């Protein structure tokens, strides 16, 4: 392998007909190029979709009340009920493995009337009564001031944190926001902070920035909600999936509100973790398709190299006969052919990797000057593991491509080889 003479022979053999060698190498280069580009495109799509989640805690479910679809314990079908704050404590005490349980209430939104007033300015915004944990479940950047804390909850402080969209509509461009007051459904709340939602897609949309958060307890007191809870956002610990805990959560709620155990319509829920896993399954399938298509294209190039090596062996029959007559062993002949095949495969494959890397870098450069928050494609890339895998595929492919020509070469008898013109 480290013999200069041997490498000189390899280079001389491959450059004897450089145009043929170039065309043969192009097949392998194109195959590995397609493989890397497909994997990078799949990763870019995955990054774009996950960016759309905006850093939201994906191990989360949302739960709300609906009408009972079955009579139970003398209670009629079609009855309505509400979650209570005591349900939150019951879940904390009886369902282990839950990290956050955030009761939530809401005013406004859904195309409703103006519900927020500041001076002469009015607007229709979603107003949420929340606990401090919600910032862990729906991550946002606090751009000024602070978020809700537990002292606000305990003292039922009428304070609010507003989105950048609310700020733009109700305030002048350079106007100070902190310490001012908003009138929400006739009740004054002091602004203590501003935020901007993280991520792309819905999280970074204009509507997501037009929301107002106030302490849950102050919301309940100001708007006569009592101990009613509109819905809940429930996040499991990292070592548990919310999907595995969902049945325990739903069973407890059903038992507390006298709902038939088999009534699956009475408690509405959305399992974000389950949906996220479906998306991950899609990405795995896309990666498998990329490998399948890329390897098939690469295989066509490998077959081309094998065919060319067969022709090369045929052209060098006389040379092989001389080598055998001078005492060359079958293994040395086989090794020479295999090294030529592997060398051509690796060089052409690495050229494909370099070309693909250049294309990916150019795409990333173009995307860096664009706002990708609303795009489903971001940062296409391949990791080192993929490159190493491609390199192993190239080495194995080179061995396979040279195996049959090498076997044909050592089958040639020296006497017959020397007679060949």
For residues 267 and 272, what is the distance between their CA atoms, to the nearest angstrom? 16
Tens-place pLDDT, residues 23-48? 878 888 888 888 888 888 888 888 87
pLDDT tier for residue 152 given thresholds of 50, 70 and 90: very high
Chain mean pLDDT for the chain? 83
DSSP bridge partners of 196: 141
Mean pLDDT for the stretch of residues 352-377 = 80
Classify 205 as helix, strand or coil.
Answer: coil
pLDDT band at residue 202, thresholds of 50, 70 and 90? very low
pLDDT reported for residue 199: 56
Question: Is residue 368 very low, low, confident or very high in pLDDT (cuts 50, 70, 90)?
Answer: confident
- pLDDT given for residue 303 in this prediction: 80
pLDDT of residue 348: 84
- For residue 187, the cross-strand partners are 184
Percent of the chain with pLDDT over 70: 86
User: Using CA atoms, how far apart are residues 10 and 252, in angstroms rounded to an integer?
Assistant: 75
Q: Name the helix (H) or strand (E) containing 118.
A: strand 116-118
Higher pLDDT, 20 or 167: 167
φ, ψ at 238 (rounded to 5°): -60, -35
**Stretch among 14-18, 29-33, 417-421 having the lowest mean pLDDT:** 417-421
pLDDT tier for residue 270 given thresholds of 50, 70 and 90: very high
Q: What is the mean pLDDT of residues 317-341?
A: 74
Burial of residue 189 (number of CB atoms within 10 Å: 0-12, 13-18, 19+): buried
At residue 207 the predicted structure's pLDDT band, cuts being 50, 70 and 90, is low
pLDDT the model gives residue 415: 65
Distances (CA, A) of 4 to 8, 9, 11, 18, 210: 6, 9, 11, 21, 71
Are residues 412 and 321 in contact, defined by beta-carbon separation less than 8 angstroms?
yes
Report d(CA 139, CA 276) in Å as an integer: 17
Which has the closest alpha carbon to 32: 299, 289, 286?
299
7, containing H or E segment: helix 4-15
The C-alpha atoms of residue 302 and residue 401 are separated, in whole angstroms, by 6
Query: pLDDT confidence of 203, banded at 50, 70, 90?
Result: very low
Average pLDDT of span 316-337: 73
Which residues share a beta bridge with 126? Answer: 211
Three-state secondary structure string covering 332-382: HHHHHHHHHHHHHHHHHHHHHHHHHHHHHHHHHHHHHCCCCCCCCCCCCCC
Which residues, listed in sequence order, are joined to residue 60 by a DSSP beta bridge?
235
The length of the chain, given as a count of residues: 421
Q: pLDDT grade, residue 20 (50/70/90)?
A: confident
| Max Cα–Cα distance, the chain, nearest Å | 107
Residue 200 clears pLDDT 70, i.e. is over it: no
Is residue 13's pLDDT more than 70? no
Token pair recorded at residue 140: 């946002």
Torsion, CA 332, CA 338, CA 344, CA 349, rounded to 10: -140
**Which token pair is 203?**
């999280």
| pLDDT, tens digit (0-9, with 9 covering 90-100), for 45-92 | 888 777 766 666 788 999 999 999 999 988 999 999 999 999 999 999
């Amino acid at each position: 392998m480290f013999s200069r003479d041997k490498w000189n022979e390899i280079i001389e053999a491959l450059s004897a007909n450089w145009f043929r060698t170039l065309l043969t190498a192009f097949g392998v280069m194109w195959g590995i190029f397609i493989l890397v580009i497909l994997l990078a495109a799949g990763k870019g799509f995955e990054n774009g979709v996950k960016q759309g989640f905006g850093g939201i805690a994906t191990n989360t479910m949302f739960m709300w009340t609906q009408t009972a679809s079955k009579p139970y314990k003398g209670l009629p079908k079609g009855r309505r009920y509400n979650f209570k704050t005591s349900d939150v404590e019951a879940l904390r005490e009886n369902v282990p493995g839950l990290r956050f349980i955030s009761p939530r209430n809401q005013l406004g939104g859904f195309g409703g009337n103006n519900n927020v007033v500041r001076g002469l300015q009015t607007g229709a915004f979603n107003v949420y009564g929340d606990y401090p944990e919600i910032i862990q479940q729906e991550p946002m950047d606090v751009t000024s001031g602070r978020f809700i804390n537990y002292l606000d909850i305990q003292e039922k402080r009428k304070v609010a944190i507003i989105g950048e969209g609310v700020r733009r509509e109700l305030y002048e461009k350079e106007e100070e926001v902190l310490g001012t007051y908003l009138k929400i459904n006739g009740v004054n709340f002091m602004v203590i902070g501003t935020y901007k939602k993280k991520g792309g897609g819905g999280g970074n949309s204009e509507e997501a920035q037009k929301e107002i958060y106030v302490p849950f307890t102050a919301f309940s007191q100001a708007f006569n909600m009592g101990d009613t809870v509109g819905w809940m956002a429930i996040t499991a610990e990292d070592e548990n999936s919310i999907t595995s805990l969902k049945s325990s959560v739903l069973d407890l709620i059903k038992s507390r509100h006298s709902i038939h155990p088999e009534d699956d319509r009475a408690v509405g829920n959305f399992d974000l973790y389950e949906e996220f896993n479906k998306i991950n399954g899609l990405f795995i399938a896309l990666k498998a398709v990329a490998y399948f298509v890329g390897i098939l294209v690469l295989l066509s190039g490998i077959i081309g190299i094998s065919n060319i090596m067969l022709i090369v062996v045929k052209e060098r029959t006389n040379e092989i006969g001389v080598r055998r007559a001078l005492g060359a062993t079958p293994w040395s002949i086989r090794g020479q052919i295999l090294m030529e095949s592997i060398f051509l495969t690796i060089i052409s494959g690495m050229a494909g990797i370099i070309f693909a890397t250049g294309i990916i870098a150019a795409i990333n450069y173009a995307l860096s000057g664009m706002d990708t928050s609303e795009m489903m494609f971001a940062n296409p890339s391949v990791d080192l593991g993929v490159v190493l895998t491609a390199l192993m595929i190239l080495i194995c492919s080179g061995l396979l491509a040279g195996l049959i020509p090498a076997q044909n070469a050592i089958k040639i008898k020296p006497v017959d080889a020397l007679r060949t013109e």
